Structure 1
Amino acid sequence: MRTLFSASVFALAAIATTATAQAEVELSGNVALTTDYHWRGVSQSNQDLAVQGGFDLATDAGFYAGTWASSVDFLDSTDTNLEVDFYAGYGGEFGEGFGFDVGAIYYAYPDSDDGDLDFYEIYAGLSKSFSSVDLSGMLSYDPDNETLYANADAGMAFSDFFSASVGLGQYLDGFDEYTNYNIGGTYSAGGFDLDLRWYDNDADGADDNVVFSIAKSL
């Protein structure tokens, strides 16, 4: 029902362990415009445009924290138009090319007429790099709604400008245990990332969707 920042939480572990090699603390930001905000295979913006952005703080010790926001439209009585996420965690490496990430994320909907929308998750993930191929997996647990979600992602860089990735996720417990998937490619040029991606899931009445996004790191 809410985020993943397509720049996923797991990607923050890489920021925390590599981007700060020359500094004790690094502050970064990002902005994006997308034709549809998808989270776990479900539209969060009623298949309409969404504006997104956030800030991340990472240390060379592996700790990170950040916030991220997006416009939303759930077409319900909550009348909420804004999602704001707050997250913090710790990431590092072990062995040869293996990475780990543990943390927590809080999803807030400050303009909602229904305070019950807010919730949090704790998560743990692993990753492995093979030259130009990156693999990652994560488990996310929501104590309030008693849900357990698992996802796996694979990405390959074909050049300095183009990469492709595929993702698979499933609720192992809760939300009818539906499965979702996506596949797409990203072209990077002039400081911008252009992503074209197909989303679908096996929930009853679900429709697949093709989403185009433009993102820029600050």
Structure 2
Amino acid sequence: MIRKLLLAGVAAMAVSAPAVAEVSGNVALSTEYVWRGISQSNEDLAVSGGFDFSQDIFYVGTWASNVDFEDPDDTNLELDLYGGVASEFGNGVGWDLGFIYYMYPSADSSDLDFVELYGGLSTELENGLALGGYLYWDPDNETVYLDTSAGFAVTDSFGVDATLGAYLDGFDEYTNWSLGATYSAVGLDFDLRYWGNDVDGGGDIADDRIVFTIAKSL
């Protein structure tokens, strides 16, 4: 089984821990839900959203999206719970340690739920280039996944980024990549992203694709 990250296509970024409690949310409409280069919505529209709570170095959150695996249970919902700790070293490099619990409530006869533990580092250079890398370990499916990203803010409202991810162990050790651009206006974020991978025999859901997303922070 092939699943997802917190928000598909979002580049890792340096985390500055807030001194007081913060609650935030997000909602998005995408031409499809793609995670690690594979369509999770069977190439159909996806509606997603979530909420986050953070205080000091601690954070917890939840995120959900419709899915379509064409399985016997007709699984149609993914619900993620996550939490962790994040802050910065004295040199401005951010660090992040946490977990994600992926749940599929409508998968009655199939055991699709799993947990990933992750750790990441990120930094923003003086020229505005942001770099990040995360390592994910799924003890149930015995997989190790490496996700790297680079982003550049061209203006205050327009940025570009690229991601490269690979299963170092498990799921045939395939690699995927994305190249995207995000523009913010009228309180919305518009993201256009190309996804590709080197999966062999994955069918239509593993084809290269372009995904358009409209998102709003709450």
- CA displacement at 1:28 relative to structure 2: 0.3
TM-score w.r.t. length of structure 1? 0.93
Are the equivalent residues in 1 in contact too, given 2:11–2:132 (CA < 8 A)? no
Whole-Å Cα distance in 2 between the matches of residues 215 and 53 of structure 1? 9
Are the equivalent residues in 2 in contact too, given 1:135–1:155 (CA < 8 A)? yes
Report matched runs for 1:1-218 at 5 Å.
Answer: 1-4=2-5, 5-6=7-8, 8=10, 10-11=12-13, 14=15, 17-18=16-17, 20-21=18-19, 24-59=20-55, 61-131=56-126, 132-205=128-201, 206-218=206-218
Cα deviation 1:102-137 (Å, max 9, x = unaligned): 001100000112341000000000011103110000
Partner SS, residue 113 of structure 1? coil
Partner SS, residue 117 of structure 1? coil
Are the equivalent residues in 2 in contact too, given 1:97–1:130 (CA < 8 A)? no
- CA displacement at 1:185 relative to structure 2: 0.1
- CA displacement at 1:7 relative to structure 2: 6.5
Partner SS, residue 111 of structure 2? helix
Whole-Å Cα distance in 2 between the matches of residues 7 and 101 of structure 1? 18
Whole-Å Cα distance in 2 between the matches of residues 113 and 181 of structure 1? 32
Cα deviation 1:62-96 (Å, max 9, x = unaligned): 10000000000011223110000000000010132
Cα deviation 1:139-162 (Å, max 9, x = unaligned): 000000000000100000000110
Tell me the C-alpha RMSD between the 2 structures. Answer: 1.5
Flag the structure with more relative contact order, 1 or 2, with Cα contacts below 8 A and sequence separation at least 6: 2
Unaligned runs of 5+ in 2: none
**Between structures 1 and 2, the one with greater helix share:** 1
Q: Letter of the 1:63 partner, please give it.
A: F
Q: Letter of the 1:3 partner, please give it.
A: K
Are the equivalent residues in 2 in contact too, given 1:196–1:213 (CA < 8 A)? yes
Whole-Å Cα distance in 2 between the matches of residues 171 and 183 of structure 1? 19
Whole-Å Cα distance in 1 between the matches of residues 152 and 106 of structure 2? 39
Whole-Å Cα distance in 2 between the matches of residues 62 and 6 of structure 1? 23
- CA displacement at 1:190 relative to structure 2: 1.2
Whole-Å Cα distance in 2 between the matches of residues 94 and 179 of structure 1? 30
Q: Letter of the 2:167 partner, please give it.
A: Y
Q: Letter of the 1:94 partner, please give it.
A: F
Q: Could you tell me the percent identity over the aligned residues?
A: 57
Ranges of 4+ aligned residues in structure 1 off by more than 3 Å? 7-11
Q: How many residues get paired? A: 211
TM-score w.r.t. length of structure 2? 0.93
